[in-house]
Amino acid sequence: MVNGRATTRPGTSSRRRMLRLAGGGLALAALAVGAVGCDEDAVDAEDAGGTNGSGAGKPKEAGSGTGSGSGKDGQAPDPLWTESTPAQTYGDNDELVTAAGVVIASGSPLAALDTATGGKKWSLPGGAIPGAPLLLGNGTLYLASSEYDGSVIGYDPATGKETWRSHLSKAYRQPRPIAVDERQVYVIAEILEDDGSSKTNVIAALDSATGRIAWKEQRDTGTEQNGIHAAVRGRHLVYTDVKKNLTVRDTATGSQVWTHKTTKTNYGFFAVHQELVIVPQGQTLQAFDLSDGKEKWSLKTSGFAAFKEPAVVEDVLYIADSDRTLRAVDPRTGKELWQSEALAKAGLQVPRQYVKAGGTLYGATDLDDKGGIIALDAKTGDVRWTFNDGTGDFHAWLVATDGKRVFALHGKKLHALPV
């Protein structure tokens, strides 16, 4: 993607993304020293309402937007509401989530806003620790404990009440959930040495019913617990890290099925579809079979363009490259469904995250300049409109949807856009 400029040369690092990867681990380590605990059951509930405003800072009542995701004459619709949040984000796609009628942005305190009005429904004083995801599964929001006591805690996203808790043991530090399925929550934690330092880490599965440890496996020396991206498909847990490892484990036993050293993984972002993991590696997009690691298909860009972050949305793979060409691809075969140069023609940035509502694909870009939320025709890739709050904030945009609204987070401003 681009980092504030119109284009990014293949191989050029994103300064913002590097800060995200480093910042998550550094902030986590700093906060762990002398962190003050809080009562996990202490939920600050407030009446829905709040103060609503437009992206430009003018007061606007909730629901006073155009009411159409297409906007007027190619213009972005007015926000239904805009609220300030205590968001603390590093640009990961799992730092803005929506479930059970609320939208939540990672931060401290952790605040859940009503999707319809923007009013605060509940908040957690300790919030989400930096660098750890907001992990949703089984109707539960899983968080690493803000007390840094080795716990992983589950909350009801509708109320903020604690519903589940697990603890690895005192032999491990800073466990962070990375993925969840119907039976287990998967975490990575540091293994403590006798002197309190840590040189290795462990990956473990926690039973989502009892909280008991189902299995734990020490990862190879040299691997890191930061910059992890993970997903679960059936019997396979797949994840990447900042050391450019692509690894698949058996979810029943924790045993390693296979691992590949990748050349480039766009800071670890990948997509999964059925039994395939799809990984961008510079000018090549590769799909590997989850069961054995064999390549099933590959796709190349034109010239020297590099593929950016992929996403599978409703059985279609969307991915852009550094020349700002957007592709829709059949994730089963690698066959292109369409290719669009509309982003380049409009002088827009490349989306790094995608969601879909109706027939519109919404992309969130990295930095503010020539970016924001881009609404695209999901069948052609044509640009319908772009939304930018004009703040100039250096944070990456994040996007989520509940199917009725599109939520756009930029810095500490959260906007609800009509679909």
pLDDT score for 211 = 95
CA angle (106, 83, 38) in 5-degree steps: 40
**pLDDT less than 70: residues of the chain:** 1-73, 222, 265-266
pLDDT tens readout for residues 14-35: 444 444 444 444 343 333 333 3
Nearest to 123 by CA among 231, 67, 45: 45
pLDDT for residue 147: 87
Q: What is the pTM (predicted TM-score) of this model?
A: 0.83
User: What is the rounded CA–CA span in Å between residue 122 and residue 402?
Assistant: 18
Query: 305-326: per-residue pLDDT in tens?
Result: 999 999 999 999 999 999 999 9
pLDDT at 73: 66
- Check residue 125 and give its pLDDT: 92
Separation of alpha carbons 412 and 233, rounded Å: 33
Q: 185: which strand partners? A: 180, 206
